[in-house]
Structure 1
Amino acid sequence: MGDGDPEYDTDFREHPEVYEVGRGEQGAFKVQPYKDELLPLWGIRTLEEAEEAAAAIHERFREYRERDDFVGQDMARKYLQMGWTRSLRYAKYPGGRKYDDDGEERDPQQWYDEEKYHISQVYRDHLDAVQDDEAYQQRKEEWKNERR
């Protein structure tokens, strides 16, 4: 699924059958209407912002679960995962830049930004709770099996 793929013009709530779980955070900025619902909640600037953001996204996950909206649940999981991975990168690398101007990977600094490390742990706690959710795990397995 690339940027020009027509499936990103799809309303995935109306057509959930075309959604593929994918890996990691794939599709987080493209799968609608979830991007518009989740991205405004997301943030990693400060610990306070991250605590509010992660809790709000987790709450949205619960709402999607109540409606049996698996695509929404998985997208909420992606935004929590993105909060964890992005803040962790800023915690290890000045400016969040993993590569230098020559494309060489920089050496991580443990912990360059202590607040970003704490932010990463806030998101990680919510991510773990979502991934450990039995209803989500079961629905994810069913989703994958239906598409084999």
Structure 2
Amino acid sequence: MKEFDYDLDYKTLDFTDAETRMLYRIGRGEQGVLLVRPYTNDICAHWRFKTPEIAVKSANKIFAMYLDYRDSEDFIGMDMCRKFLEMGFTRSRRYANHKTGKKYDKEGNVRPQDPDHLTNQYAQSAKIFKQVRDIVAKNDTYKQMRKEWRSHE
């Protein structure tokens, strides 16, 4: 597996361009989620997690975009949707664990989890994003296209 390449000039790259597409790297987890344009701009416009209701609307919209990318056989779009769903889960969990969103105190120590970290609205949002992310990541078409992409990285 090749690591995500943070050295590229992402501000000038258009990953819908055939030659540029070959530069895309899956990376680990949600690496590069905010860099790969125009996908980042398109998907980020719908990415929200403040309440479970907002998270449902956001996750459903991103899933619909994923289906459109899948129907167009656009693996980068599919993978970017997966990354945004992953980021919805991880960011929601961060705020579920720590109301301020800050995991560390000024001395660099991990802050204790909030008492309601398993039940608050952000914990509920995290569950929503994780459920949809799991559907995407376990989809046979996605897994096959990911395997093919990895073989060419």
TM range, smaller chain? over 0.9
**Root-mean-square deviation (Å):** 1.4
CA deviations 1:102-131 (Å, max 9, x no partner) are 221112235336111110000011000000
- Are the aligned partners of 2:10 and 2:35 in contact in 1 as well (CA < 8 Å)? no
Letter in structure 1 aligned against 2:145: R
Uncovered stretches (5+) of structure 1, i.e. residues with no partner: none
**1:69: how far off?**
0.5
Q: 1:26 aligns with which of 13, 23, 31?
A: 31
- Distance across 2 between alignment mates of 1:123 and 1:91: 13
CA deviations 1:64-84 (Å, max 9, x no partner) are 011110000000000000000
Q: 2:96 aligns with which of 91, 102, 106?
A: 91
- Distance across 1 between alignment mates of 2:103 and 2:151: 36
Is 1:135 equivalent to 2:141 in the alignment? yes
Structure 1 equivalent of residue 42 of structure 2: 37
Structure 2 length-normalised TM = 0.90
Uncovered stretches (5+) of structure 2, i.e. residues with no partner: none
Structure 2 equivalent of residue 6 of structure 1: 9
Structure 1 length-normalised TM = 0.92
Structure 1 equivalent of residue 111 of structure 2: 106
Partner SS for 2:100: helix
Partner SS for 1:104: coil
Partner SS for 1:100: coil
Q: 1:123 aligns with which of 121, 129, 133?
A: 129
- Count residues with an aligned counterpart: 146
Identity among equivalent pairs (%): 33
